[in-house]
Chain A
Protein backbone atom coordinates (compact mmCIF):
# COMPACT_ATOMS: atom_id res chain seq x y z
CA UNK A 1 0.00 0.00 0.00
CA UNK A 2 1.16 3.52 -0.73
CA UNK A 3 2.44 5.56 2.18
CA UNK A 4 0.37 8.61 3.10
CA UNK A 5 1.50 11.81 4.76
CA UNK A 6 -0.77 14.04 6.86
CA UNK A 7 -0.13 17.07 9.06
CA UNK A 8 -0.12 16.04 12.74
CA UNK A 9 -2.68 18.61 13.82
CA UNK A 10 -5.09 21.27 12.57
CA UNK A 11 -7.55 23.70 14.10
CA UNK A 12 -10.89 24.80 12.70
CA UNK A 13 -13.55 27.20 13.95
CA UNK A 14 -16.99 25.74 14.46
CA UNK A 15 -19.23 26.35 11.48
CA UNK A 16 -16.34 26.76 9.07
CA UNK A 17 -15.15 24.20 6.55
CA UNK A 18 -12.38 21.90 7.68
CA UNK A 19 -10.01 20.93 4.88
CA UNK A 20 -7.73 18.04 5.76
CA UNK A 21 -4.91 17.33 3.28
CA UNK A 22 -3.24 14.03 2.53
CA UNK A 23 -0.28 13.28 0.29
CA UNK A 24 -0.01 9.89 -1.38
CA UNK A 25 2.51 10.50 -4.14
CA UNK A 26 3.32 6.80 -4.65
CA UNK A 27 -0.29 5.68 -4.99
CA UNK A 28 -0.83 3.07 -7.68
CA UNK A 29 -3.62 3.03 -10.21
CA UNK A 30 -5.76 0.45 -8.42
CA UNK A 31 -5.45 1.95 -4.94
CA UNK A 32 -8.37 3.77 -3.38
CA UNK A 33 -8.09 6.61 -0.89
CA UNK A 34 -10.01 5.88 2.32
CA UNK A 35 -10.71 8.28 5.15
CA UNK A 36 -11.55 7.25 8.70
CA UNK A 37 -11.78 9.18 11.92
CA UNK A 38 -11.48 8.25 15.56
CA UNK A 39 -13.26 10.26 18.18
CA UNK A 40 -11.54 10.06 21.55
CA UNK A 41 -11.16 6.37 22.40
CA UNK A 42 -13.97 5.04 20.23
CA UNK A 43 -13.48 2.65 17.34
CA UNK A 44 -12.50 4.28 14.04
CA UNK A 45 -15.39 5.42 11.89
CA UNK A 46 -15.42 5.10 8.12
CA UNK A 47 -16.04 8.44 6.40
CA UNK A 48 -15.59 8.18 2.65
CA UNK A 49 -13.42 6.70 -0.08
CA UNK A 50 -12.62 7.36 -3.73
CA UNK A 51 -10.50 6.21 -6.62
CA UNK A 52 -10.11 9.23 -8.91
CA UNK A 53 -13.40 11.07 -9.01
CA UNK A 54 -14.47 13.48 -6.32
CA UNK A 55 -16.93 11.95 -3.91
CA UNK A 56 -19.53 13.35 -1.53
CA UNK A 57 -21.69 11.73 1.10
CA UNK A 58 -23.66 12.91 4.10
CA UNK A 59 -20.53 13.27 6.19
CA UNK A 60 -17.92 14.80 3.92
CA UNK A 61 -16.50 15.46 0.48
CA UNK A 62 -13.34 13.97 -0.93
CA UNK A 63 -11.36 15.87 -3.53
CA UNK A 64 -8.64 13.89 -5.33
CA UNK A 65 -6.17 15.71 -7.56
CA UNK A 66 -6.05 14.76 -11.19
CA UNK A 67 -2.64 13.09 -10.79
CA UNK A 68 -4.00 11.30 -7.68
CA UNK A 69 -0.94 12.21 -5.67
CA UNK A 70 -2.90 14.06 -3.04
CA UNK A 71 -6.40 14.46 -1.71
CA UNK A 72 -8.40 16.67 0.63
CA UNK A 73 -11.18 15.68 2.98
CA UNK A 74 -13.69 18.47 3.45
CA UNK A 75 -16.07 18.73 6.38
CA UNK A 76 -18.29 21.55 5.10
CA UNK A 77 -19.55 22.90 8.42
CA UNK A 78 -17.40 21.58 11.23
CA UNK A 79 -18.93 21.13 14.68
CA UNK A 80 -17.36 20.40 18.04
CA UNK A 81 -18.35 16.76 17.54
CA UNK A 82 -16.00 16.58 14.55
CA UNK A 83 -13.01 16.93 16.87
CA UNK A 84 -11.13 13.68 16.21
CA UNK A 85 -8.08 12.08 14.66
CA UNK A 86 -8.52 11.69 10.91
CA UNK A 87 -6.72 8.95 9.03
CA UNK A 88 -6.03 8.89 5.30
CA UNK A 89 -5.23 5.43 3.92
CA UNK A 90 -4.34 4.28 0.43
CA UNK A 91 -5.18 0.65 -0.30
CA UNK A 92 -6.42 -1.46 -3.17
CA UNK A 93 -9.48 -3.62 -2.72
CA UNK A 94 -7.31 -6.73 -2.68
CA UNK A 95 -5.36 -5.49 0.28
CA UNK A 96 -8.14 -3.44 1.79
CA UNK A 97 -8.25 -6.28 4.24
CA UNK A 98 -4.98 -4.96 5.58
CA UNK A 99 -5.46 -1.28 6.20
CA UNK A 100 -2.36 0.50 7.43
CA UNK A 101 -3.17 3.30 9.84
CA UNK A 102 -0.60 6.02 10.36
CA UNK A 103 -0.81 8.61 13.12
CA UNK A 104 -3.33 10.77 11.26
CA UNK A 105 -4.30 14.43 11.73
CA UNK A 106 -5.74 15.57 15.02
CA UNK A 107 -8.48 18.07 14.16
CA UNK A 108 -9.53 20.39 16.95
CA UNK A 109 -12.77 22.26 16.31
CA UNK A 110 -13.14 25.32 18.52
CA UNK A 111 -15.89 27.81 19.32
Chain B
Protein backbone atom coordinates (compact mmCIF):
# COMPACT_ATOMS: atom_id res chain seq x y z
CA UNK B 1 0.00 0.00 0.00
CA UNK B 2 1.71 3.20 -1.18
CA UNK B 3 -0.92 5.49 0.33
CA UNK B 4 -2.72 6.16 -2.94
CA UNK B 5 -6.38 7.04 -3.03
CA UNK B 6 -8.59 7.92 -5.96
CA UNK B 7 -11.85 9.82 -5.98
CA UNK B 8 -14.51 9.29 -6.95
CA UNK B 9 -14.39 5.50 -7.19
CA UNK B 10 -17.39 5.39 -9.50
CA UNK B 11 -18.95 8.07 -11.66
CA UNK B 12 -21.64 8.22 -14.30
CA UNK B 13 -21.78 11.35 -16.39
CA UNK B 14 -23.33 12.58 -19.60
CA UNK B 15 -21.60 13.25 -22.88
CA UNK B 16 -20.25 16.76 -23.09
CA UNK B 17 -19.91 17.39 -19.37
CA UNK B 18 -16.56 18.11 -17.71
CA UNK B 19 -15.21 15.52 -15.31
CA UNK B 20 -12.27 15.68 -12.91
CA UNK B 21 -10.72 12.65 -11.27
CA UNK B 22 -8.42 13.03 -8.31
CA UNK B 23 -5.41 11.01 -7.25
CA UNK B 24 -3.99 11.63 -3.80
CA UNK B 25 -0.80 10.23 -2.30
CA UNK B 26 0.60 10.61 1.17
CA UNK B 27 4.25 9.59 0.77
CA UNK B 28 5.79 12.49 -1.15
CA UNK B 29 6.41 10.56 -4.36
CA UNK B 30 7.74 12.68 -7.18
CA UNK B 31 6.32 10.77 -10.14
CA UNK B 32 2.59 10.26 -10.65
CA UNK B 33 0.70 8.72 -13.57
CA UNK B 34 -2.75 8.34 -15.03
CA UNK B 35 -3.63 5.19 -17.01
CA UNK B 36 -6.84 3.96 -18.55
CA UNK B 37 -7.86 0.35 -18.99
CA UNK B 38 -10.48 -0.90 -21.39
CA UNK B 39 -11.89 -4.44 -21.64
CA UNK B 40 -9.42 -6.87 -23.15
CA UNK B 41 -6.59 -4.36 -23.08
CA UNK B 42 -3.66 -3.67 -20.87
CA UNK B 43 -3.19 -0.30 -19.26
CA UNK B 44 -2.41 2.69 -21.46
CA UNK B 45 -0.65 5.79 -20.18
CA UNK B 46 -2.60 9.05 -20.48
CA UNK B 47 -0.37 11.62 -18.75
CA UNK B 48 2.30 11.63 -16.12
CA UNK B 49 3.93 14.12 -13.80
CA UNK B 50 7.52 14.34 -12.64
CA UNK B 51 6.99 17.14 -10.14
CA UNK B 52 4.75 20.01 -9.15
CA UNK B 53 3.58 21.76 -12.32
CA UNK B 54 5.70 19.34 -14.44
CA UNK B 55 3.61 17.06 -16.63
CA UNK B 56 3.92 15.27 -19.94
CA UNK B 57 1.75 13.33 -22.34
CA UNK B 58 1.44 9.59 -22.62
CA UNK B 59 0.25 7.51 -25.55
CA UNK B 60 -3.47 8.33 -25.27
CA UNK B 61 -3.55 11.95 -24.07
CA UNK B 62 -6.07 13.39 -26.56
CA UNK B 63 -9.17 14.66 -24.77
CA UNK B 64 -7.48 14.74 -21.37
CA UNK B 65 -5.65 17.38 -19.37
CA UNK B 66 -3.87 17.13 -16.04
CA UNK B 67 -2.71 19.40 -13.28
CA UNK B 68 -0.43 19.04 -10.31
CA UNK B 69 -0.36 22.08 -8.07
CA UNK B 70 0.96 20.21 -5.05
CA UNK B 71 3.00 17.06 -4.60
CA UNK B 72 0.22 14.96 -3.17
CA UNK B 73 -2.50 15.58 -5.76
CA UNK B 74 -2.64 14.77 -9.46
CA UNK B 75 -5.87 15.69 -11.23
CA UNK B 76 -7.14 14.26 -14.51
CA UNK B 77 -9.75 16.33 -16.36
CA UNK B 78 -11.96 15.37 -19.23
CA UNK B 79 -12.98 18.78 -20.55
CA UNK B 80 -15.97 17.40 -22.48
CA UNK B 81 -16.54 13.74 -21.80
CA UNK B 82 -17.29 11.38 -24.68
CA UNK B 83 -18.56 7.81 -24.67
CA UNK B 84 -15.13 6.62 -25.85
CA UNK B 85 -13.75 7.79 -22.51
CA UNK B 86 -15.84 5.26 -20.63
CA UNK B 87 -13.12 3.28 -18.92
CA UNK B 88 -11.44 2.40 -15.66
CA UNK B 89 -8.82 4.96 -14.70
CA UNK B 90 -5.85 4.08 -12.55
CA UNK B 91 -3.44 6.41 -10.86
CA UNK B 92 0.08 5.27 -10.02
CA UNK B 93 3.23 6.52 -8.35
CA UNK B 94 6.88 5.58 -8.77
CA UNK B 95 8.71 4.26 -5.78
CA UNK B 96 11.31 6.54 -4.26
CA UNK B 97 13.84 3.71 -4.20
CA UNK B 98 15.49 4.26 -7.57
CA UNK B 99 14.20 0.99 -8.97
CA UNK B 100 11.18 2.80 -10.39
CA UNK B 101 8.55 0.19 -9.80
CA UNK B 102 5.08 1.65 -9.84
CA UNK B 103 2.30 1.31 -7.29
CA UNK B 104 -1.29 1.71 -8.32
CA UNK B 105 -4.42 3.12 -6.79
CA UNK B 106 -7.74 1.25 -6.63
CA UNK B 107 -9.14 2.78 -9.81
CA UNK B 108 -12.08 4.95 -10.83
CA UNK B 109 -14.79 3.44 -12.99
CA UNK B 110 -16.15 6.17 -15.27
CA UNK B 111 -19.21 5.71 -17.45
CA UNK B 112 -20.11 8.36 -20.01
CA UNK B 113 -23.68 8.02 -21.28
Contact = CB atoms under 8 A, between A and B. Distances in A.
Given A41-B88, A98-B45, A99-B45, A93 B98 contact: yes
Interface residues of A, number: 22
A43 B89 CA distance: 9
Contacts of A44: 43, 90, 92, 102, 104
A47 to B, nearest CB: 9
B107 A41 contact: yes
B58 interface: yes
Nearest to A102: B42
Nearest to A34: B101
A104 B105 contact: no
Interface string B28-63: 000101010000111111001010000000100000
B93 to A, nearest CB: 11
Interface of B: 31, 33, 35, 40-45, 48, 50, 58, 88, 90, 92, 94, 98-107
